[in-house]
Chains A and B, each alone.
Chain A
Amino acid sequence: MLDLSAPASAVPARGEALLSDRKAKRARRRRQLGPYLFILPTLVGICVFTVYPLISSLYHAFTNWSGLGAAKWIGFGNFQYLFTQDPTFWPSLKATGYFVLLSVPASMVFGLALAVLVNRAFVGVKLFRTIFYLPVVLPSIAVLTLWQYIYDPAYGLANQVLHALGLPASQWLNSQSMAMPSIVIIGVWGVGSSMIIFLAALQNVPQEIYEAARVDGSGAWRMFRSITLPMITPLLLLQLILGLSLSFQAFNQFQVLTKGGPNQATNVFMYKIYTDAFGGYSQLGLASAETWILFLIIMAVTAVVLKSSSMWVFDDRQA
């Protein structure tokens, strides 16, 4: 290729030919090496910050380790302790399951409903989209602390609203039964992010299909059920998987708002891992075992969802 661009008249002397040959070789080598230089930072990063930690935490899951000095191999000791003796293990799994079951469907349903609502060409629709998306932009700690005060039983807005509606006051975050739903409500306030993703999916559905259905006399609900919903199932699947994974790893809410209380009602697994590892006792071996349990749970749930997806996800390659 280099020869093609060189002028035909320039016939190089022997020495020059050797020189340019070496130059070409170096250039070729650089071209071969180049791509690896581009990915080098990421490659190092994946090795140091993903692969090594995965192996290290897997190893330490089978040890008794305070983080200082050598870890002591204890086989399945940590897992045995967690499954049979630890008084907070099963309650924390239950709290996690409860949180995931409440928050994931809530954000999917409300997100989709809002997306359908703002998928119009009406004047002012952009303003509404912006307002619905606004809470997502705010820093999570700013939002959580705001809601902490909203839920204050005496001075907070939440009980004022209940009072105005003629409903009895609630203890919100201080109540064993209401703490978890209160935290889920904060998440619903930030439903704008899934709204935007669903909106992008809705706008990707070809308009001709709706027009054909309209000619056939289909109503709005019918079109939503038989056209919109099947067409966006690939994105529903993606959102479901991401939502599940993120909910299993939710942490800030519990650290800032409830510290796992009251009476362990919100002691989710992620918060338990944090307290075991960094809460003063430095049970890093035990905490490593817990991180792997959480990882396996997330993988198992994802696998089940993916497996089930062939039954409800519309694949346009088949159509």
Chain B
Amino acid sequence: MSAVALGHGIRPARRRVPLAHRVPVTVSRISWYALCTLLAVTMLVPLLWMVSIALKSNDNILQLPPKFFPTSYVWSNFVNGPAQIHFPRLFVNTVIITVVSTAGAVTSSMLAGYALSRLEFKGRKVFFYLFTFAIFVPSIVTIIPIERLFFGMGLINTWIPLILPSFFGNPLFIFLARQFFISVPHSIDESAMMDGASSFRIFRSLMVPLTKPLWITMAILAFQMSWNDYLSPLIYLNSPGRYTLSLGMATFMGTLTSGTTPQYNYYMASNLLYMIPPLLLFFFAQRYFMMGLGSLGLTNK
């Protein structure tokens, strides 16, 4: 690794390194690149194949043996495919549900995380343990009573069960927030409190701007959870017009595997469109994705 660091700046010094020492470094580097490239290609092949299917013609997808590349590029699949499941409508449904529940989860968790880490009050430790305990309760144990609760309120086949719970704090996010808030210097809120600022004011005008990486990370995690959620829509929604994309796409696939005309080109074109929002988010906020996962791991240290 030190050889790499030296590589750029100090050319002349490099010439003095004996050949015998340099060769193994080069060989190991080349084999490293070869191995990484091989693995990367292997991991990308399923995605490339999907793009290829999405562009194939109806005859082309039924060809045996199948070819990896399309013989002609049928861009209209990206119109005809989504039309099969009212894609734009499901897209809007999913966006609404995802955006609202992300906002709810981030706001409620930030508030709780701030109080648990920076405010003094009776029972703080107890609440912290209670919230942490909630992380470890598997969602399956609670799902039947919660479903009955929403059923009793006549909220089956609405979006409320998919949105409402996120407004009541996410224990995992609160844990993350607490770890982050603890690292902010205490002198900041002490001096603000001297000036007579209320704790909500301190939270809103000092803590929120200071913890931008934290809530962006949370928002990304919340977005992913909501966008990818399948079990809740499956349990709560039953009219196709209200479906989320996850449920709509799974239903679409179900009709193909049992149907007579397996139009997988239509399916894969729609699937690509379904993947685009999380992919865009990933490419624009990659740093925060990595940070979110990294901090989850490091909180244990």
Contacts and interface: CB of A to CB of B under 8 A. Distances in A.
A235 B44 CA distance: 28
Contacts of A141: 228, 230, 245-246, 249-250, 274
B144 A122 contact: no
Interface in A104-126: 114, 117-118, 120-122, 124
B168 A48 contact: yes
A89 interface: no
Contacts of B20: none
Interface in A128-183: 128, 130-135, 137-142, 144-150, 154-157, 160, 163
Contacts of A138: 275, 278-279
A311 interface: no
Contacts of B281: 137
A197 B264 contact: no
A218 to B, nearest CB: 15
Interface stretch (A9-17, A94-102, A222-230, A290-298): A290-298
A196 to B, nearest CB: 5
A79 interface: no
B55 interface: no
A234 B300 CA distance: 7
Contacts of B119: 34-35, 38
A287 B235 CA distance: 14
Contacts of B49: 150, 157
A50 B148 contact: no
A90 interface: no
Contacts of B198: 30-31, 34
Interface string B229-268: 0110011000000000110011001000100001010011
Contact of A135 (B43, B64, B131, B249): B43
A278 interface: yes
A131 B53 contact: no
B293 A251 contact: no
Nearest to A210: B1
A39 B271 contact: no
A273 B140 CA distance: 9
A238 interface: yes
B199 A31 contact: yes
B225 to A, nearest CB: 11
Contacts of A39: 111-112, 115-116, 127, 169
A67 B143 CA distance: 13
B227 A53 contact: no
Contact of B144 (A142, A148, A160, A287): A287
Given A160-B65, A238-B297, A42 B112 contact: yes
Contacts of A193: 293
Interface in B120-134: 120-121, 124, 127, 130-131, 134
Interface string B163-199: 0010111010010000000000000000000101011
A178 B264 CA distance: 23
Interface in B46-71: 46-47, 49-50, 53, 61-62, 64-66, 68
A231 B279 CA distance: 34
A256 B253 contact: yes
A132 B37 CA distance: 11
Contacts of A117: 32, 35-36, 39
Interface of A: 1, 5, 30-32, 34-36, 38-39, 41-46, 48-50, 52-54, 56-57, 60, 67, 114, 117-118, 120-122, 124, 128, 130-135, 137-142, 144-150, 154-157, 160, 163, 189, 193, 196-201, 204, 234-235, 237-239, 245, 248-249, 251-252, 255-256, 270, 273-274, 277-278, 284, 287-288, 291-292, 294-295, 298
20 contacts: A35-B120, A36-B121, A43-B127, A45-B168, A50-B134, A53-B149, A57-B142, A121-B4, A122-B29, A138-B275, A139-B227, A139-B274, A142-B249, A155-B61, A155-B64, A156-B66, A160-B65, A200-B297, A284-B148, A291-B141
Given A42-B174, A54-B141, A274-B231, 13 more contacts: A35-B199, A39-B127, A49-B168, A134-B44, A137-B279, A189-B43, A204-B301, A245-B136, A248-B138, A249-B139, A284-B148, A295-B137, A295-B140
